[in-house]
Chains A and B, each alone.
Chain A
Amino acid sequence: MAGLAPRVEYLAGFCCPLGGLAAGKPRVLCHGAEVFLSTGSELVYVYDREGRLLIAVYKFPGQVWHLELLALHRALYVLCARSGIYCLSLDQASRSVSRDDEDDRDDQDSEDGQVDELPAPVIPVHPDTCVLPSATLHAFTVLDDVLITLAQGPTQWKVQVFERPCPGEDPRPGGQIGEVELSTCTPPAGSLGEPTAPRFLPVLCCASPPGSRAPHGHPWGSGGVMLEGPLFGLLFGSDASLLESPVILCGLPDGQLCCVVLKTLVTSRSAPGDPKALVKILHHLEEPVIFIGALRTELPSEDVEDAYCDCLVALGHHGRALAIKASWDEAGHLVPELREYSLPGPVLCAARGRGGHVYHSTPSDLCVVDLAQESSPWDLTQRDRAPGGLPSLLCPASLSACSVVTLSVSSRAPEGGAELLALSAKGRLMTCSLDPHSETPHPTRVTSANAGQKIKELLSGIGTVSERVSSLKKAVDQRDKALTCLNEAMNVSCALLSSREGPRPISCTISTSWSRLQLQDMLTATCLLENSSGFSLDRGWALCIQVLRSSQALDLDSAVSAITYTIPVDQLGPGGQREVTLPLGPGEDGALDLPVTVSCALFYSLREVVGGALALTDPFKDPPSNECTPDVLPEQEGVCLPLSEHTVDMLQGLRFPGLAAPHTQALGPLSPARDPVHTFLGTCCGPVSQPAGPASLRAKYLPPSVATIKVSAELLRATLGDSHAGVSLCCATLQWLLAENAAADIVRAQALSSVQGVAPDGTDVHLIIREVAVTDLCPAGPIQAMEIQVESSSLANMCRAHHAIVGRLQTLLREVQTLRDRLCTEDEASSCTTAQRLLQVYRQLRSPSLLLL
């Protein structure tokens, strides 16, 4: 392997979607000089390597997911998504060459090897020519006279065996030989949603025992492998060996590796196969299976041309590789030797080569690993390897080509080397030759004849290197950026966490107001995020606002169902402000359960900033997703910094249409949501009587509910203090209660002591403040108190308002308490009287003065 120097040569470019080709569906196959290629679109290209021209383009009715070539029968089988399997005759393809040869030759003669798709004739393939129509097929393979397919049923994968249809034949649904169901699969959810294309397709591989007739095509084709007897018997059991039956190996996207003995799979419609008897699970890779194949790792004892494979290999998307060999223990028994390796992932595609080589491609490199016994004498891993066993470690060697989405090992390999045919994510078809002799430089004289060739090689070498450099550079840039972001995030977090006291460098203030949104009045919360720190909030920061409704807050079960809004903070520099407005309600049902708790926090997503850089993927090739981000960053990993919390209660939610304020006047009484379509549909519902529910009846005939709260006037005066000088205590109290409501200013301006408000659901709420004297509480005489009266036709709203007022008073009490505590610690003598007084007030407050009528 060390002697192999890669040499990459570009053959042609094919059109690819923006962002490059995704791995999984493109295929490339070669047969002699012909290359068959699909890029995952509807097109299948036939390209002639020798003439360096596109021979034909076939257009299928759907995306092409798989190609298989049956060289012996000169047939190309094509799996078309949601349509079925088509069969093209190769002779047909070559005939179209000769026809178009003369016309197109001149156009194709472009120097850079790029092929435009236009000159080649696009031959549409009609859906009626489908030889096996089925909308659920996900994979297939061809073996001699049978066609094996893997279809996705409603709940399970299903292996089906058909008689192999030939090109130009009519579909024969009666040609089914057998079927069996594999393990469960989870189809994408969504009842009416369109079925989405799967990200990973299952993989099929046909393993034949040594005695059977040679499988089709050349041994390095994409189809079957031939296993040597002991490994075959060990893996699939003595029945399969005795019957000399081929075995279908299936690698499923959930990681399962299972096998079905083909000869046992002959069933009729009345009795599909029993999965328990027919399907054997060999292994579970726990990640989507990308490749299954077999290799010859030991040198054949004699000079046998067709050495059977002695090692089964499976490769998963994240790089987990499995190798199974048969060996004999010291007692002479046949035992399986099974090893798992970890290769760099994510693996886009893989192929097996000669002599224990497995090629696999990741977004950043194309590598080769060697499972053979005699890899290199100076290999350190050689020592801890049992004779005939598998290496304990695999060392991938780079072949200097990145983002190869599909690979095929060419049959035209140079002696001792290999030639790969690869399609890169940018749609370039290239060959990668591994020539064992090229490392020893040939001091040949540059002649004019080979100079052109030499220059061409150098140019293509530069091309490969530049593509690789750009990918590596992108990765480095990504890491650099991630580190800068992390540093900033660190600074911000420190600043926020160290300033427990005093104003925080980054703050979020929440206020509420009513506004009209989409024909409906909405109570909206406005969160103002201010960055007064010296750092800027960059990519990765998000403002999380959680809205918790009172009914949910009370109900423990649904507490988790609070709504959380996450708003990305995109570039908030020092001194910057960002305002976010959220609707709090009422919802479609017209109800708004107050109080509502709004809490704000800053969230920094490590996943978003660092994930991409750690995964080292090219964002264009492999979109960041759960699969390709390493496990070090779980889904919700990040830093959360709480900023503030605010409770919106009834007093804030009240509206006062009666008060003359120009902007509130505009908001008329609440009207139910009227969707025009709704109205339109309502016409056919006929006249529906006005709702005569108990609520409206009660409103009409029952007196409103009333609650009063009495608070010591002394206390209020002391606390409200100077700020309300010049107005009556009643007005000051009302103003204090409605401080966070837009109506506070009007109350102040008009010196009101009672207001008529409207609750969010449209019922009236009346607040009246009076001065009263409470006589029966204190023996010392009547106490001056303020009576706060809440009146509403809706009991629920009355309770909510009452609850809000009690909440204010509790806050007040807490202030008193802290004041008292502070006083205790201060000079006792000087503040003795104040303390006394406050204690007295406190005691008064503690006495039961809340009267509910």
Chain B
Amino acid sequence: MAHRTPPGSSASHASCLDLWREKNDQLVQQAKVAQDSGLSPRRQQLAQDALEGLRGLLHSLQGLPAAVSVLPLELTVICNFITLRASLAQGFTEDLAQDIQQGLERVLETQEQLKARLEHGLRGLWDSVLHVSSLLPELLPALHHLAGLQAALWLSTDRLGDLTLLLQTLNVSQSGASEDLLLLLKTWRPPAEESDAPLTLQDAQDLRGVLLTAFAYRQGLQELITGNLPRALSSLHEAASGLCPRPVLVQVYTALGTCLRKMGSPQRALLYLVAALKGESTWGPPLLEASRLYRQLENTAAEIECLELLVEALSVAHIPEAPQLLIEVELLLPRPDPASPLHCGTQSQAKYLLASRCLQTGRAENAAEHYLDLLALLLDGSEPKFSPPPCPPGPCVPEVFLEAAAALIQAGRAQDALTVCEELLSRMSSLLPKRPRLWEDARRGTKELPHCSPWVSATYLLQGQAWVQLGAQKEAISEFSRCLELLFQATPKDKEQGPASSCEQGCTSDVALQQLRAAALISRGLEWVASGQDTKALQDFLLSVQVCPGNQDASFHLLQTLRRLDRRDEATALWRRLEAQTELPQENAAWSLPLYLETCLGWIHPPDRETLLEEFRTSLLETRDL
């Protein structure tokens, strides 16, 4: 389209352009004032007003046909608008892409090339705009700035293919079209803005630095998760060497620590973790990582100390700083994912980790204290700031109760364990099955139980063990019997019923159920033995071997009882089977049982299996010799 100059209009136009420019500069200044005014509603209001002002300015600019002389200002206003909007909303939205697209179309409008390229989408638009812009050098700084924002948008939405192509087109003056995004970002040189250019909230150079750090960190984290450690290390080094805010630096150092730990350099990993802890903003992830490191080094004391510090660190309320009104590295990072190695969870999750590690490493007293603290944290609603349960990825709340009871028994505090169990039962009472109202179901034969029965029966088991510790045989046996009654009513159909969560299903896994049954039978059997009723004990041990053939403890107890009852033939047969089994490799280590069950199984472990076998062998030889 030919443009002719009507006489006398150029002066008014120039003043109009100046007016718009001044408006832009003033709004940018306003946003910067808002930025500096700390956390207050006034800041929010100022920033919001600046955003609305930019929106209005853009409206008036785009109300007129596109012109080359106005476009640098218009594109700058678009860039400022997008920057402010994304930083206020703390994220990029789809309609920001529309704003970019509109800006590009306006550029093409001046060149009358609009129609041809529209069908290729945003990428095609960029191609043609950058092609056109070689004819319009005055647009280049603003276009590179807009391209930087487009890159940020595509980075945050994981459209790396488009991003690579865009950067390749931007770098076309440089030699060689690399496929490596990191290299492309490094070689991208946004042209410097002229001194008299309209003000921007954030210039293209700055944006490039942010993009570079964010991308390097994203890539490093991704490779760390997929296990490509050397590449992760180099990407993370790249991120650490860039300009990045302190919280991000802590994350990068922690990730470097994780990476080096996995690569087998614990000392270097420690150095990075120490550096991360000096970051003074978030201590959680580096402390958790340090505890993992010490665990790998089998330095339990240091590991527990790290976890204790982690609990401390997470109890400090984290006051967020006001986010900058700029595109920051944080804005371009992936959403925090609980599965990420850098996720440190909440205070109660850390507390649970500490308690369970104490229980696993044999520090029963500490474990008991930590479990009681955790329960208090979870159940005491009097504090205004409560803490969430460690449920998923941790265990669900009933399991925390059960582990607490197990830890208390382990620590010799049977009475406290009974209190915890009673509390659990009372809180679950409304979910327990009612007695059948009608007799019609009798013909169905079985009585099924709702989903919570494994926990309830485990509670009875632990109550029984507590009574054992208190020396009350009668109570213990009655609790074990209640446990068994419930357990043998449970059928696999239960899994379909009730609002079962994933961890509830895990708890009712067949292996766990078998082991639970065996544990209850052995426990009761042992009590029979203690009260001298060997035949009843024999019955329970026999049953336990049947319900859980993989549990060798049951066989050993059975062997002992048979021996005591002087039933030699059966004992010999069982001994042969056991001998054969012990020669086979042990495979039950692969099962992961709930911690409370593991602990409980530890109590009923026959004290000295090897000597028992040896004794039996010699006695067998003696009888043969006789």
Q: Which A residues have a C-beta under 8 Å from some C-beta of B?
A: 84, 127-128, 130, 133, 135, 145-146, 153-155, 163, 171, 173-174, 176-178, 187, 189-192, 210-213, 228-230, 232-239, 241-244, 263-272, 274, 277, 328, 330-335, 672, 675, 677-685, 687-688, 690-691
CB distance from B444 to the nearest CB of A (A): 7
Known contacts A330-B436, A681-B64; is A190 also within 8 Å of B95 by CB? yes
Residue of A nearest to B48 (CB): A135
Q: Which B residues have a C-beta under 8 Å from some C-beta of A?
A: 1-6, 9-10, 12-14, 17, 39-42, 44-45, 48, 55, 58-59, 62, 64-65, 67-70, 89, 91-96, 98-99, 102, 247, 282, 284-285, 314, 317-320, 322, 335-338, 343-346, 378-379, 381, 384-389, 391-392, 396-398, 401, 424, 427-431, 433-438, 440-441, 444, 447-452, 455, 497-499, 501, 504
**In the complex, are the beta carbons of A242 and B398 less than 8 A apart?**
yes
Please indicate the chain B residues that have their CB under 8 angstroms from the CB of A174 in the complex: 317, 319-320
Please indicate the chain B residues that have their CB under 8 angstroms from the CB of A230 in the complex: 430-431
Please indicate the chain A residues that have their CB under 8 angstroms from the CB of B69 in the complex: 681, 684-685
Q: How far is the CA of A685 from the CA of B440 in the complex (A)?
A: 92
**In the complex, are the beta carbons of A133 and B58 less than 8 A apart?**
no
**In the complex, are the beta carbons of B498 and A270 less than 8 A apart?**
no
Please indicate the chain B residues that have their CB under 8 angstroms from the CB of A333 in the complex: 433, 448-450, 497-498
CB distance from B156 to the nearest CB of A (A): 11
Q: How far is the CA of A133 from the CA of B322 in the complex (A)?
A: 14
CB distance from A276 to the nearest CB of B (A): 8
Q: How far is the CA of A244 from the CA of B382 in the complex (A)?
A: 12
**In the complex, are the beta carbons of A269 and B434 less than 8 A apart?**
no
**In the complex, are the beta carbons of A677 and B14 less than 8 A apart?**
no
Q: How far is the CA of A683 from the CA of B8 in the complex (A)?
A: 9
Known contacts A133-B44, A192-B99; is A238 also within 8 Å of B381 by CB? no
Known contacts A127-B41, A333-B450, A684-B14; is A229 also within 8 Å of B433 by CB? no
Enumerate 8 A-B pairs (CB-CB under 8 Å) in ascending A order: A127-B41, A238-B396, A238-B398, A239-B397, A242-B397, A270-B318, A332-B435, A333-B448
**In the complex, are the beta carbons of A277 and B392 less than 8 A apart?**
yes
Residue of A nearest to B250 (CB): A270
Contact among B39, B59, B318 for A173, CB-based, below 8 A? B39
**In the complex, are the beta carbons of A229 and B319 less than 8 A apart?**
no
CB distance from A335 to the nearest CB of B (A): 7
Apart from A153-B89, A685-B67, A685-B69, 12 more pairs, CB < 8 Å:
A130-B41, A177-B385, A178-B388, A191-B99, A229-B431, A233-B430, A234-B431, A238-B451, A272-B335, A672-B1, A684-B70, A687-B5
**In the complex, are the beta carbons of A235 and B448 less than 8 A apart?**
no
Please indicate the chain A residues that have their CB under 8 angstroms from the CB of B48 in the complex: 135
Please indicate the chain A residues that have their CB under 8 angstroms from the CB of B39 in the complex: 173
Contact among B13, B314, B319 for A684, CB-based, below 8 A? B13
Known contacts A133-B41, A263-B378, A685-B3; is A229 also within 8 Å of B436 by CB? no
Residue of B nearest to A212 (CB): B381
Please indicate the chain A residues that have their CB under 8 angstroms from the CB of B314 in the complex: 268
**In the complex, are the beta carbons of B318 and A234 less than 8 A apart?**
no
Residue of B nearest to A675 (CB): B65
Known contacts A127-B45, A679-B6; is A238 also within 8 Å of B504 by CB? yes
Please indicate the chain A residues that have their CB under 8 angstroms from the CB of B346 in the complex: 266-268, 271
CB distance from A194 to the nearest CB of B (A): 8
Please indicate the chain A residues that have their CB under 8 angstroms from the CB of B9 in the complex: 679-680, 683
Please indicate the chain A residues that have their CB under 8 angstroms from the CB of B45 in the complex: 127, 133
Q: How far is the CA of A128 from the CA of B41 in the complex (A)?
A: 7
Contact among B384, B389, B498 for A234, CB-based, below 8 A? B498
CB distance from B98 to the nearest CB of A (A): 4
Residue of B nearest to A176 (CB): B320
- DSSP majority for the B interface? loop
**In the complex, are the beta carbons of A191 and B96 less than 8 A apart?**
yes
**In the complex, are the beta carbons of B433 and A334 less than 8 A apart?**
yes
Q: How far is the CA of A84 from the CA of B41 in the complex (A)?
A: 10
Residue of B nearest to A272 (CB): B336
Contact among B3, B384, B385 for A681, CB-based, below 8 A? B3
Q: How far is the CA of A274 from the CA of B349 in the complex (A)?
A: 14
Q: How far is the CA of A276 from the CA of B434 in the complex (A)?
A: 32
**In the complex, are the beta carbons of B13 and A681 less than 8 A apart?**
yes
**In the complex, are the beta carbons of A238 and B431 less than 8 A apart?**
yes
**In the complex, are the beta carbons of A683 and B13 less than 8 A apart?**
yes
**In the complex, are the beta carbons of A192 and B55 less than 8 A apart?**
yes
**In the complex, are the beta carbons of B389 and A328 less than 8 A apart?**
no
Q: How far is the CA of A84 from the CA of B45 in the complex (A)?
A: 11
**In the complex, are the beta carbons of A242 and B44 less than 8 A apart?**
no
Contact among B44, B317, B378, B498 for A334, CB-based, below 8 A? B498
CB distance from A431 to the nearest CB of B (A): 37
Q: How far is the CA of A177 from the CA of B444 in the complex (A)?
A: 50
Please indicate the chain A residues that have their CB under 8 angstroms from the CB of B10 in the complex: 683-684
CB distance from A838 to the nearest CB of B (A): 49
Q: How far is the CA of A587 from the CA of B95 in the complex (A)?
A: 29
**In the complex, are the beta carbons of A242 and B427 less than 8 A apart?**
yes
CB distance from A812 to the nearest CB of B (A): 38
Please indicate the chain B residues that have their CB under 8 angstroms from the CB of A176 in the complex: 320
Q: How far is the CA of A234 from the CA of B447 in the complex (A)?
A: 20
Please indicate the chain B residues that have their CB under 8 angstroms from the CB of A228 in the complex: 430
Residue of A nearest to B91 (CB): A154
Q: How far is the CA of A464 from the CA of B17 in the complex (A)?
A: 62
**In the complex, are the beta carbons of B4 and A173 less than 8 A apart?**
no
**In the complex, are the beta carbons of B388 and A264 less than 8 A apart?**
yes
**In the complex, are the beta carbons of A189 and B95 less than 8 A apart?**
yes
**In the complex, are the beta carbons of A332 and B3 less than 8 A apart?**
no
Q: How far is the CA of A154 from the CA of B430 in the complex (A)?
A: 41
CB distance from B51 to the nearest CB of A (A): 10
Q: How far is the CA of A133 from the CA of B338 in the complex (A)?
A: 29
CB distance from A497 to the nearest CB of B (A): 42
**In the complex, are the beta carbons of B386 and A263 less than 8 A apart?**
yes
**In the complex, are the beta carbons of B381 and A690 less than 8 A apart?**
no
CB distance from A606 to the nearest CB of B (A): 36
Please indicate the chain A residues that have their CB under 8 angstroms from the CB of B379 in the complex: 243-244
Please indicate the chain B residues that have their CB under 8 angstroms from the CB of A684 in the complex: 10, 13-14, 17, 67, 69-70
Please indicate the chain B residues that have their CB under 8 angstroms from the CB of A213 in the complex: 381
Q: How far is the CA of A190 from the CA of B392 in the complex (A)?
A: 39
Residue of B nearest to A171 (CB): B41
**In the complex, are the beta carbons of B65 and A266 less than 8 A apart?**
no
Q: How far is the CA of A639 from the CA of B619 in the complex (A)?
A: 103
Please indicate the chain B residues that have their CB under 8 angstroms from the CB of A155 in the complex: 93-94
**In the complex, are the beta carbons of A266 and B14 less than 8 A apart?**
no
CB distance from B450 to the nearest CB of A (A): 5
Q: How far is the CA of A155 from the CA of B97 in the complex (A)?
A: 14
CB distance from B544 to the nearest CB of A (A): 28
Residue of B nearest to A246 (CB): B381
Please indicate the chain A residues that have their CB under 8 angstroms from the CB of B378 in the complex: 243, 263
Q: How far is the CA of A687 from the CA of B427 in the complex (A)?
A: 85
Please indicate the chain B residues that have their CB under 8 angstroms from the CB of A173 in the complex: 39, 320, 322
Please indicate the chain A residues that have their CB under 8 angstroms from the CB of B449 in the complex: 333
Contact among A154, A269, A682 for B318, CB-based, below 8 A? A269
Known contacts A212-B381, A233-B430, A242-B428; is A691 also within 8 Å of B497 by CB? no
Known contacts A235-B499, A333-B450; is A683 also within 8 Å of B95 by CB? no
Q: How far is the CA of A181 from the CA of B102 in the complex (A)?
A: 30
Q: How far is the CA of A681 from the CA of B337 in the complex (A)?
A: 52
Q: How far is the CA of A243 from the CA of B264 in the complex (A)?
A: 42
Q: How far is the CA of A829 from the CA of B45 in the complex (A)?
A: 97
**In the complex, are the beta carbons of B70 and A680 less than 8 A apart?**
no
**In the complex, are the beta carbons of A237 and B501 less than 8 A apart?**
yes
Q: How far is the CA of A645 from the CA of B444 in the complex (A)?
A: 75
Please indicate the chain B residues that have their CB under 8 angstroms from the CB of A268 in the complex: 314, 318, 346
Q: How far is the CA of A691 from the CA of B111 in the complex (A)?
A: 12
